[in-house]
Chains A and B, each alone.
Chain A
């Protein structure tokens, strides 16, 4: 007998009467344990867990569409919300997105930069963000660029714009591909080789006290694949409160020896030059057998890798550099940490900062097996992240659900919501009045592929608050500093009040919001606020917030001023700067 049905999480069509007879029966005390799967029924004799296969269909309401598109794209607009509501099938939308052609950055930069000019890659990135149809792929590529980090603030990469954009396009190409493939492409990309020192890394030379470079070996383990501590499939450390190192300094040194012997595709035999400018950074690094073995720079000795795996001496193998690297990448790929570690990082980028362990496990399980027996299917991982009931029903499933919006995504959301148009003399550059596109990090604390170190703009384990002990993580809060909050506020102020398409003032190089739809709502404040809530607040404006804004707007006589105030008040509010 169903006493109280807790599946009523918003907008689920619970038409399937068989729900209450499926799944195991648990004690009621387990009701709020986070280990519970997403959907359960509270019965008079306990809690009935509903197997995932029996989850009801998610009805795509306007709220669902608005929230979903905030997670899966660079921001919803009226057309994308309406289309998704009409389609009423999130999985079908994802499937279609995955088939769209890739918006690239390299061809534009190749045509518009000499390779050292650093502005153009920001122009094409914003063009793709604003105009690209492949929104999901671009959003995931951006997320991957914050996990597999390179940055053109690096001394060498600043002059390697072709290589840097080729790296980004490579992330986009592999956004729905296999993690093992992506890991290899990242490892062998010459920009990564330059950034983390694997390029021209050489075996030990005891006479000169030379030891292999440990940089890539360390970061590929710590940041790109398994992390510092042993994890369970749910992303929690094992044991929970006393983390155990997942590798040692010795492991790093062994991987460093594996990653020796690689060079630019166009510089075989050259191992000394300090000037790397002229080499091709769009072609994968190659194993360099000049000088010829046994004098080549790859270390063919026996190595011990993760979980005690022994990579045997490869001096008798035909191409030891490649085979050793392949063995090592397989060794990493098959480590049990990879599914929860990578899944949690991607969940944090797309949906929530503090996923429940159960959510992490559901996604990590998809990483282990995509349903067709394959490990590492990133496309299925993305789908699992976005379609999970925790992502769809948020706080109803997990009270800690939510995140701070990445600053740069606050801007893309504003621009996309109002179909922002390039200035008439902008020459392809979406930009604010205060800074050019390539220096937007000076206002927002981030710009694509421009973080200050391999540790990204913010750390995944950054606490939400520096002054409270809630224990919640809030990675993005690391760059929502007082300075950035103030400069973003003033940038939005100018964007809304001066740089809209009806203002008639301001520079012609600056991007402008199209506020015609909002102004066209005439004096109907309720309609205006509904419209803005759909675009900017995941269609969720708390009644008290609505009341406060209404009270202000009723006293603003001009329709144009009312629209500008309404937009600005919302984007300047804390409620806009978070999602959940």
Chain B
């Protein structure tokens, strides 16, 4: 097994024999009080049809209507918007809250972003020059989106890398820098700074057998230590680590969350429950002595191979109301400028239909939301929506496939967010090895 690694929390545990009240929180040099920041990834699981989120105008819209056929967002279902560079475009009218945020300059649209190893043209695609691994397969593309390494064999994610580099801002906190409210997440995996996974469906309660008042506390602690010490049983060892993290997490969070109920955020459904839990943790950020927080939220059901029109409507509504309620809560907390939320998905979907649904594509659109966002702008261009001689199509040997080659890479998108979180350029280049292939390292959608 691996050698013992210095762990922040185990250090804290040995230090906690000292009275903590005398332990003045002090950030490292890059962690000033004003630098407290929270980053929220909203992953749309299954490959969201983001070509239904926003649509272009003019001839491009006509191309889109013709190619998308019965799956197109029609003219009477659009909300008008403008960008100073690309001009007029529209939001789907099922996204009224996000449209309002755009109009209020609190939301930026990132067009046609996706997994890329390097800038990729149609000729590069046809020549199979340095393409992402296992294109069009769900879990592979989802993982590639999340790893940052551009390599499917790497288990770490770029959210976890950011956490690793900013964890010094949480040196007096007992809580992990990164937290998932949607189960396991490659995005948060990191060998140094491990994340914790919280359940928004259940209250975060103290573990009864481990409470100070429990008579079983000592013997249970002994059994955990025994399991941790026995490298011949790596499964029990890893579970013991998990139990210990669970104890730490429930101890520190159950108290803080009780103090931050956020009763004015009325959440309905699983997605809003996740966002509410994140909002409560952001509300408790200072109480938890955290300078930086990284969250993973998930909304599933986007793999709309069939019945897309029927399935997409409730999903878009959930996305819109959820994010709008969340941003309202953050604004009320007075933390708009220190919280940034962004969307991501496995891939964009095909422009072509399979009758009543769409297939796995490649590039797609994303939203970035928050007071620190350079909002009311669109970054990147809409792709061509033509079905004939489409220069952006990853086609099938000349036959139109409707899978759009991204113009912006996830690597650049990640780099921009990492820099906002306070990751240095050297660290950024380490966590995103393919960034060197792109001349633009920062897409500019965060205010500097």
Which A residues lie at the B interface, using CB under 8 A?
153, 155-156, 194, 196-197, 199-202, 205, 208-215, 218, 222, 228, 245, 249-250, 252-253, 271-272, 274, 276, 353, 395, 399-400, 402-404, 434, 442-443, 445, 452-453, 455, 458-459, 462-470, 472, 474, 477-487, 489-490, 493, 542, 544-545, 548-549, 551-552, 556, 565, 568-569, 572-575, 577-578, 580
Complex contact A212–B239 (CB within 8 A): no
Task: With both chains docked as a complex, state the minimum distance between the C-beta of A569 and any C-beta of chain B, in angstroms.
Answer: 6
Contact partners of A482 in chain B: CB under 8 A? 196-198, 242, 245-246, 249-250
Task: With both chains docked as a complex, state the minimum distance between the C-beta of A93 and any C-beta of chain B, in angstroms.
Answer: 26
Chain B count of residues within 8 A CB distance of the other chain: 90
A211 to B69, CA, bound (A): 12
Task: With both chains docked as a complex, state the minimum distance between the C-beta of A565 and any C-beta of chain B, in angstroms.
Answer: 6
- From 54 to 77 in chain B, residues with beta carbon under 8 angstroms from any chain A beta carbon are 67-70
A548 to B229, CA, bound (A): 15
Partner of B226, one of A445, A542, A580: A542
Task: With both chains docked as a complex, state the minimum distance between the C-beta of B260 and any C-beta of chain A, in angstroms.
Answer: 18
Q: Given A214-B360, A487-B199, A489-B209, A404–B300 Cβ distance below 8 Å?
A: no
Task: With both chains docked as a complex, state the minimum distance between the C-beta of A275 and any C-beta of chain B, in angstroms.
Answer: 8
Task: With both chains docked as a complex, state the minimum distance between the C-beta of B187 and any C-beta of chain A, in angstroms.
Answer: 11
Complex contact A552–B301 (CB within 8 A): no
User: Is B266 interfacial (CB-CB < 8 Å)?
Assistant: no
Task: With both chains docked as a complex, state the minimum distance between the C-beta of B67 and any C-beta of chain A, in angstroms.
Answer: 6
Partner of B2, one of A214, A274, A470, A568: A470
Q: Given A468-B1, A468-B2, A485-B246, A209–B67 Cβ distance below 8 Å?
A: yes
Which B residues lie at the A interface, using CB under 8 A?
1-2, 5, 45-46, 67-70, 134-140, 155, 180, 183-184, 189-192, 194-199, 201-202, 204-205, 207-210, 215-216, 218-220, 222-224, 226-227, 230, 232-243, 245-247, 249-250, 300-301, 303, 305-307, 309-311, 350-357, 359-360, 387, 396, 400-402
Interface centre among A452, A458, A575 (most CB of B within 10 A): A575
Contact partners of B46 in chain A: CB under 8 A? 453
Contact partners of B216 in chain A: CB under 8 A? 552, 565, 568-569, 572
Contact partners of B223 in chain A: CB under 8 A? 545, 548-549, 569, 573-575
Complex contact A199–B306 (CB within 8 A): yes
Interface centre among B68, B202, B357, B400 (most CB of A within 10 A): B202
Contact partners of A222 in chain B: CB under 8 A? 137
Contact partners of A155 in chain B: CB under 8 A? 301, 307, 310-311
Complex contact B240–A481 (CB within 8 A): no
Q: Given A470-B1, A574-B224, A481–B197 Cβ distance below 8 Å?
A: yes
Q: Given A470-B2, A552-B218, A211–B401 Cβ distance below 8 Å?
A: yes
Using CB atoms, name the residue of chain A closest to B250: A486
A205 to B216, CA, bound (A): 67
A544 to B233, CA, bound (A): 14
Task: With both chains docked as a complex, state the minimum distance between the C-beta of B136 and any C-beta of chain A, in angstroms.
Answer: 6
Complex contact B353–A209 (CB within 8 A): yes
Complex contact A253–B198 (CB within 8 A): no
Contact partners of B311 in chain A: CB under 8 A? 155
Contact partners of B205 in chain A: CB under 8 A? 486-487, 490
A366 to B233, CA, bound (A): 30
Contact partners of A490 in chain B: CB under 8 A? 205, 207-208
Partner of B400, one of A209, A481, A544, A552: A209
Interface centre among B204, B250, B300 (most CB of A within 10 A): B250
A463 to B155, CA, bound (A): 8
- The 6 closest A-B CB pairs, nearest first, are A481-B197, A483-B199, A197-B305, A213-B354, A485-B246, A574-B227
Q: Given A222-B137, A464-B234, A468-B2, A213–B199 Cβ distance below 8 Å?
A: no
Complex contact B234–A209 (CB within 8 A): no
Beyond the given pairs A486-B205, A568-B209, 11 more chain A to chain B contacts, judged by CB atoms under 8 angstroms and listed by A's residue number, are A200-B306, A200-B356, A208-B69, A210-B352, A213-B305, A228-B134, A252-B136, A468-B238, A477-B238, A574-B224, A575-B223
Task: With both chains docked as a complex, state the minimum distance between the C-beta of A154 and any C-beta of chain B, in angstroms.
Answer: 8
Complex contact A452–B45 (CB within 8 A): yes
Complex contact A218–B360 (CB within 8 A): yes
Using CB atoms, name the residue of chain B closest to A156: B307
Contact partners of A452 in chain B: CB under 8 A? 45, 183, 300
Complex contact A493–B208 (CB within 8 A): yes
A262 to B243, CA, bound (A): 48
Using CB atoms, name the residue of chain B closest to A229: B134
Using CB atoms, name the residue of chain A closest to B189: A466
Complex contact A453–B245 (CB within 8 A): no
Complex contact A569–B192 (CB within 8 A): no
Partner of A481, one of B183, B355, B357: B183
Complex contact A402–B233 (CB within 8 A): yes
Contact partners of B220 in chain A: CB under 8 A? 569, 572-573
A100 to B192, CA, bound (A): 51
A490 to B214, CA, bound (A): 13
Task: With both chains docked as a complex, state the minimum distance between the C-beta of B193 and any C-beta of chain A, in angstroms.
Answer: 8
Complex contact A472–B234 (CB within 8 A): yes
A127 to B354, CA, bound (A): 41
Interface centre among B1, B137, B194, B301 (most CB of A within 10 A): B137
A209 to B245, CA, bound (A): 52
Using CB atoms, name the residue of chain B closest to A552: B219
Q: Given A453-B300, A486-B204, A551-B219, A465–B353 Cβ distance below 8 Å?
A: no
A199 to B305, CA, bound (A): 11
Task: With both chains docked as a complex, state the minimum distance between the C-beta of A447 and any C-beta of chain B, in angstroms.
Answer: 12
A574 to B235, CA, bound (A): 9
Using CB atoms, name the residue of chain B closest to A483: B199
A386 to B71, CA, bound (A): 50
A573 to B210, CA, bound (A): 11
Using CB atoms, name the residue of chain B closest to A551: B219
Complex contact B306–A466 (CB within 8 A): no
Contact partners of A572 in chain B: CB under 8 A? 209, 216, 220
Contact partners of A274 in chain B: CB under 8 A? 307, 309-310, 356
Contact partners of A271 in chain B: CB under 8 A? 355
A395 to B45, CA, bound (A): 38
Task: With both chains docked as a complex, state the minimum distance between the C-beta of B440 and any C-beta of chain A, in angstroms.
Answer: 29
Task: With both chains docked as a complex, state the minimum distance between the C-beta of A372 and any C-beta of chain B, in angstroms.
Answer: 37
A484 to B200, CA, bound (A): 11
Selected A-B contacts with CB under 8 Å, 18 pairs: A197-B357, A209-B353, A210-B352, A211-B402, A402-B233, A402-B234, A404-B238, A434-B202, A453-B300, A465-B241, A470-B2, A477-B239, A481-B183, A485-B243, A487-B199, A552-B219, A578-B233, A580-B233
Q: Given A490-B207, A574-B227, A479–B183 Cβ distance below 8 Å?
A: yes
Partner of A442, one of B137, B201, B387, B400: B201
A213 to B245, CA, bound (A): 43
Contact partners of B359 in chain A: CB under 8 A? 211, 213-215
A272 to B309, CA, bound (A): 12
Interface centre among A201, A276, A452, A465 (most CB of B within 10 A): A465
Partner of A478, one of B183, B195, B232: B183
A153 to B269, CA, bound (A): 13
Partner of A548, one of B180, B226, B233, B307: B226
Partner of B357, one of A208, A213, A545: A213
Contact partners of A468 in chain B: CB under 8 A? 1-2, 191, 238
Using CB atoms, name the residue of chain A closest to B156: A466
Contact partners of B195 in chain A: CB under 8 A? 466
Q: Given A196-B305, A249-B136, A468-B2, A480–B199 Cβ distance below 8 Å?
A: no
Task: With both chains docked as a complex, state the minimum distance between the C-beta of B131 and any C-beta of chain A, in angstroms.
Answer: 11
Contact partners of A205 in chain B: CB under 8 A? 355
Using CB atoms, name the residue of chain A closest to B359: A214
Task: With both chains docked as a complex, state the minimum distance between the C-beta of B344 and any C-beta of chain A, in angstroms.
Answer: 16
Complex contact B354–A201 (CB within 8 A): yes
Task: With both chains docked as a complex, state the minimum distance between the C-beta of A172 and any C-beta of chain B, in angstroms.
Answer: 27
Task: With both chains docked as a complex, state the minimum distance between the C-beta of A350 and any C-beta of chain B, in angstroms.
Answer: 15
Contact partners of B250 in chain A: CB under 8 A? 482, 486
Partner of B208, one of A209, A215, A218, A489: A489
Contact partners of B222 in chain A: CB under 8 A? 548
Task: With both chains docked as a complex, state the minimum distance between the C-beta of A157 and any C-beta of chain B, in angstroms.
Answer: 12
